[in-house]
Structure 1
Amino acid sequence: MVIDVVNNTKCIVQSDLYQGIVREIKSLIPIKIRPSYEDVFANIESKRVLLSGLSFEDVSDTLLNDRAGIITYSTAKFTKNHNVDCEQEGYKDSESEGSVDFGEYSQGFLLANVLEYVLAKKDLLQLEEYIKASRIPNAKAYTKEIVDLVFSSSGK
């Protein structure tokens, strides 16, 4: 079963749909993403999926049917967490004067965002339990941040 979860995680992260969304996000914010998806990250992210209580079908459906919401949430979260002022048409590349380097993200960053996004829209208690189970400090405050970003970015 664990091997299936890891393989399903890899399949989603390496899918054309997922990678297309990652490329779109990269065009909007100054995020650097590791070019390869190592097994260690697949193991970590597969545990996140299990902790969330969501299915891979939930994740795939969201990527397919709420692409714009996921992109908006992901860019808003990055911008908030890194205090970045991105222009509407994009951002200055890393060659530009005054740019800031945030390090590299795993390709699974989007999967983590999808889990938060779906749980925020579906069940706030389940979201908070997921955040606590993930051992993220100040779970209540972080849950509120997620909900605020999801609903302010979706316009609801």
Structure 2
Amino acid sequence: MEEIDKLIKSTEYQNVILKVSKNKKILDNYYDSLLKIAKRNLEISDVKLEYLEELLKNDEKSLIYSFVKMGLIIDNQEEEFSKGEEPSNDEKMVTINNLGKSITFLIDDLIEYYLLKNSQKELENYLKAIRIPNAKKYAQELKEVYDSIK
């Protein structure tokens, strides 16, 4: 987690956050928990932190991707799971009000961008693994964003 913390506090990351987020509120409440989630997402994606650092420094399209994605409004109502993988009633989706963007949102965007650029087949599996509602639909929307900036 120390490496993720270092990335988040880096000048490059902070500058991109400022550029991409414009009028969106950036939340760093529960910072340690956000770091744990970012670490978990990196592990699930099997994307190395060094790859994200390289994208951040050398791939301007990753920034454009994040900026374009920030404008997306995705209406996900239900989660989709394979037969036998359905969550219990206690684990089903709840509606959460959006109070802003997490300080780690850029890490999530960079993971998605990396998978779109290098392994699109893995994107949907990754989204399902981190429990994104309607992962298949969301993956398709992300592909459309990616295709629009190629």
User: Shorter-chain TM-score category?
Assistant: 0.7 to 0.9
| Per-residue Cα deviation, 1:13-61 (whole angstroms, up to 9, x for no partner) | 111111111111133xx21102567101100111001111100111111
Task: Work out which of the residue numbers 106, 109, 115 in structure 2 matches 1:113.
Answer: 109
Aligned letter for 2:114?
Answer: V
Shift of 1:70: 2.3
Unaligned runs of 5+ in 1: 1-5, 83-101
**Corresponding residue for 2:63?**
71
SS of the residue 2:72 aligns to: helix
Deviation string, structure 1 residues 122-149 (Cα, Å, up to 9, x no partner): 1111111111111112221111111110
**Percent of aligned positions that are identical:** 30
Count of aligned pairs: 129
Establish whether residue 16 from structure 1 lines up as the match of residue 27 from structure 2. no
2:56–2:63 CA contact under 8 A, matched in 1: no
Whole-angstrom CA distance in 2 between matches of 1:42 and 1:69: 25
Hey, what does 1:39 align to over in structure 2?
A: 32
Residue type at the aligned position of 2:125: E
Alignment root-mean-square deviation, CA: 2.1
Q: d(CA) in 1 for partners of 2:58 and 2:130?
A: 26
Q: Is the 8 A contact 2:27 2:103 kept in 1?
A: yes
How far is the alpha carbon of 1:104 from its aligned partner? 2.1
Q: Which of 119, 126, 130 is the aligned partner of 1:130?
A: 126
Structure 2 unpaired stretches of 5+: 75-97
Q: Pick from 19, 26, 29: which aligns with 2:21?
A: 26
| Cα shift at 1:71 | 2.3
Q: 1:37 to 1:61 in 2, by over 3 A?
A: farther
Q: Hey, what does 2:89 align to over in structure 1?
A: none
8 A Cα contact 2:115 2:123, kept in partner: yes
TM-score, normalising length from structure 1? 0.75
8 A contact 1:51–1:130 mirrored in 2: yes
What TM-score do the two structures reach when normalised by structure 2? 0.78
SS in 1 for 2:133: coil
